Amino acid sequence: MWILHQYPLCPFSRKIRFQCAEKGVAVECVREHPWERRDAFLLLNPAGQTPVFVQGAVTLSDSTAIAEYLEETVERTPLYGAGAEARAETRRMCAWVDQKFYSEVVVPLLAERMFKRLVTRGQPDAATIRGAQRAAEGHLDYLDYLLEHRRWLSGPAFGLADVAAAAQVSVADYLGGIDWDGHEETRTWYSAIKSRPTFRPLLAERMEGLPPPAHYDKLDF
Ligand SMILES: N[C@@H](CCC(=O)N[C@@H](CS)C(=O)NCC(=O)O)C(=O)O
């Protein structure tokens, strides 16, 4: 069985867990806090980042590389779309959420609301949190716009862009970074994601000492 080195609020690990669930790939999760910089973990991934995906002699890191490996090796439930153009759009949207949404929204929320609470025991900076919430607002406007024109984020079929975006949005939502008011298209899309049996286990998981808002795992939010 594949072993995934991860922690519950790592959006890139959520992406791989959600993709594996969609493809029917069994995964055992092993907790890793990358900020501890453990030697044994650095040997697995010199970048010191989660997720790391291991089976026997195969060790993979970087969620984009892992996701493409899974797409190439597991035939069931293809998630990149049919044809070069659809696959390019899937990759564009994955890069959007993995890079822009992550750095502008999730990184500051993780730093202020998780890292300061659980690791350094510092006071969160309200201005940084407000900045992340404003950035989330802009990103949700863009997702609303896309979803006015297409059923799923990269086109007519559910795919890896939805998996990657749901992973990032769910962590931002867990950390109180999302105001759903005025984002009906994205809310309807996320509600459909939340109701997938493959996503429910992610919503049920908690980071110890850091509870999510009450609406976090509700289908009606
Ligand atoms: N591009 C990488 C990014 C992974 C990443 O940034 N992981 C975070 C946790 S969510 C991490 O390990 N950060 C610690 C560090 O960068 O030192 C991927 O897609 O897997």
Q: What 3-state DSSP class applies to 24?
A: coil
> By three-state DSSP, how is residue 210 classified?
strand
Whichever domain contains 128, its CATH number is 1.20.1050.10
Q: In this structure, is residue 212 part of a structural domain? A: no
Q: Are residues 94 and 161 in the same domain?
A: yes
Residue span of the structural domain in which 60 resides: 2-73
Question: Residue 132 has what pLDDT?
Answer: 98
pLDDT category, 19, cuts 50, 70, 90? very high
Dihedrals φ, ψ of 52, to 5°? -125, 135
Could you give the angle at the alpha carbon of 30 between the alpha carbons of 16 and 3, nearest 5°?
55
Ligand 1 binding pocket includes 186 (Cβ within 6 Å): no
Q: How many domains does the structure of the chain reveal?
A: 2
CA of 148 to the centre of ligand 1 (A): 31
| Mean pLDDT, residues 121-150 | 97
Report d(CA 179, CA 176) in Å as an integer: 8
Summarised one tens digit per residue, pLDDT across range 81-112 is 999 999 999 999 999 999 999 999 999 999 99
pLDDT (0 to 100) of residue 158: 98
39 and 114 inside one domain: no
What pLDDT does 199 receive? Answer: 98
Nearest CA to ligand 1 atom 14: 49
**According to the 3-state scheme, what is the secondary structure of 198-209?**
CCHHHHHCCECC
Amino acid found at 52: V
Based on the domain organization, do 117 and 69 belong to the same domain? no
Is the Cβ atom of 158 under 6 angstroms away from ligand 1?
no
Q: Which stretches of the chain are DSSP H helices?
A: 11-23, 39-44, 63-73, 84-95, 107-109, 126-149, 160-174, 184-194, 200-204
Q: What is the pLDDT of residue 151?
A: 97
Task: Report d(CA 209, CA 144) in Å as an integer.
Answer: 33
> Is 196 within the bounds of a domain?
yes
- The answer to whether residues 175 and 197 belong to one domain is yes
The reply to whether 7 and 31 lie within a common domain is yes
Q: How high does pLDDT run on average in the chain? A: 97
Can you give the pLDDT at residue 81? 97
Give which of 37, 32, 27 is closest to 9, Cα–Cα: 32
Q: Coil, strand, or helix at residue 33?
A: coil
Determine if ligand 1 sits within 6 Å of the CB of residue 78: no
For ligand 1, the distance from its centroid to the CA atom of residue 2, given in whole angstroms, is 19
Does residue 98 line the site of ligand 1, with CB under 6 A?
A: yes
In the listed set 73, 107, 134, which residue is the last one of a domain according to the structure? 73
